[in-house]
Amino acid sequence: MSTSSSDSQTLPLRVVAARWESESITSYELARADGGELPAWEPGAHVDVHLPSGTVRQYSLCGDPTDTSRYRIAVLELPAGRGGSVEVHRELRPGRVIPIGRPRSNFVLAEADRYVFVAGGIGITPMLPMIREVQRRGGTWELVYGARTVEHFAFVRELDPSAVQLVPQDTHGHLDLESVVASSSGAAVYCCGPTPLMDALVERMSRAGRGDDLHLERFAAAAPVVGSSGEFEVELARSEKVVPVRPDQTVLEAVRDAGIDHPSSCEMGICGSCEVKVLGGDVDHRDDLLTESERAQCNSMMICVSRACGARLVLDL
C-alpha cells in the first residue's frame, strides 16, 4: 500500500512461521531473534513491512495482542498488483530477517454496546483482534464476511460460527449492505475490504444518518478529489516559518522543502502517519481516515493529501 517512509524506527524481526490460510492468503509470524518481547499494540493496529527490494507495505496485525512474543500478518497475493504482495509471498520464508515498523493504529475499537464487523476478502485481518478484544470484554458482536468463493475465506476456524455470516460471492452475490445497516441500529459498525464495498457502505450509512457509527480501514485511497485548491500558505507555529504551497504540491512536500523531515508512509491519506494538529484555518479534508465529526472539529489533518480552504493554515509543526 505504501510507497516510502521516513520512519526509521524499525525492528529487525525474523519470520518464524508462514502458514497457508486460504486461497491466495498466507499468514506470517514475526519475532525477535533473541526471543524478546515486542512493542505492545492494540486491535486495529498495522505495521510497515520493509521488503528486500526496498518497497514498504502496510499490513494489519491479526494475531493476539496479549502475545508479545510475535506479530502476525496475513497477505493476499495479487499477481496483477504493484508487486508488494507477490514479493511477500516469494521472499518471506521462515528464517528471513526483515525490518518491521512499530505498530500504529488509526482504526481504534470504540466503546459500544454491540459491534457489527463487515469484512471483504483480506479485510478480515484487522477484524480478528477486534473480535478477540470484544469477546474478552464480554461484548456482543457479529461478523458479515464476504469472499469470492468458499475457498477464499480465511481464519474462519478461529471464529465463533454462531456469530459469523459467510457470503461467498460466486453463489450468494454481494453482501446485503441494506440489511447490514437496518440490523445494526445502535451498534458500532467496522468495515475493511475492497474500496467499492466500503464506498457502498459509507453511502448507505450516511443516507441513514449514521456516518459516525461507521469505522473504516482502507487498503487503498477512495476516488481522488477532482480539482485543486489554489496556492495557499501554511504557518508552522513551532518552527516559526511560513511556507507557500503551490497548487501542484502537497502540504507534506512543501513542509519537507522547508527543511522539516515530517514522517509519512502511504501518502494517500489512508495510514495517518503524517497527521498534524491544526491550530488555525479551515481544512479541505481529502483523507480516508477522519470521521465526519473529526473533520468538522478540524483539530488535525493528513498533510499528504488534505489542503486549505482559505489562504492560510496554522499547523503544530
* Domain count within the chain: 3
- In this prediction, residue 81 carries a pLDDT of 79
- In this prediction, residue 235 carries a pLDDT of 95
CATH code for the domain of 86: 2.40.30.10
47, part of any domain: yes
Find out whether 73 and 59 touch, Cβ atoms under 8 Å.
yes
Reply yes or no on whether the pLDDT at 28 is more than 80: yes
167 and 251, same structural domain?
Answer: no
- Across the range 141-164, mean pLDDT stands at 96
69, part of any domain: yes
- Across the range 148-173, mean pLDDT stands at 96
Query: DSSP per residue over 248-290, as a string?
Result: TS-HHHHHHHTT-----SSSSSSS-TTEEEEEES-EE---SSS
200 and 135, same structural domain?
Answer: yes
5, part of any domain: no
To the nearest whole number, what is the mean pLDDT of the chain?
Answer: 90
Q: CA 22 to CA 187: how far, in whole Å?
A: 30
Q: CA 130 to CA 113: how far, in whole Å?
A: 14
- In this prediction, residue 2 carries a pLDDT of 39
Domain boundary among 104, 139, 167: 104
287, part of any domain: yes
Q: CA 187 to CA 181: how far, in whole Å?
A: 10
118 and 213, same structural domain?
Answer: yes
Report helix, strand and coil shares of the chain as percent, to nearest 5: 25, 30, 45
Closest CA to 13 of 46, 39, 45: 39
3, part of any domain: no
Domain boundary among 51, 82, 104: 104
Reply yes or no on whether the pLDDT at 268 is more than 80: no
Model confidence at 8, pLDDT cuts 50, 70, 90, reads low
- In this prediction, residue 5 carries a pLDDT of 41
Within the chain, strands assigned E span 10-22, 25-32, 46-50, 56-60, 71-76, 97-101, 114-120, 140-147, 164-168, 188-193, 214-218, 232-236, 241-245, 275-280, 283-284, 300-302, 307-308, 312-315
CATH code for the domain of 149: 3.40.50.80
225, part of any domain: no
First to last CA, the chain: 26
227, part of any domain: no
CB atoms within 10 A of CB 220: 12
CATH code for the domain of 281: 3.10.20.30
131 and 90, same structural domain?
Answer: no
What is the bridge-based pairing of β-strands 140-147 and 56-60?
A: unpaired
Percent of the chain with pLDDT over 90: 72
C-alpha cell at 45: 493496529
Name the residue with higher pLDDT: 22 or 7: 22
Q: CA 297 to CA 96: how far, in whole Å?
A: 45
Q: Which residue has the cell 512543501?
A: 254
C-alpha cell at 28: 506470517
Domain boundary among 80, 104, 128: 104
133-154 burial string, b = 16+ CB within 10 Å, else e?
bbeeeebebbbbbbbeeeebbb
- Across the range 88-115, mean pLDDT stands at 93
- In this prediction, residue 1 carries a pLDDT of 39
For residue 254, list its beta bridge partners. Answer: none
Closest CA to 120 of 88, 187, 167, 161: 167
CB atoms within 10 A of CB 16: 18
* Full residue range of the structural domain in which residue 33 is found: 10-104
- In this prediction, residue 7 carries a pLDDT of 45
198, part of any domain: yes
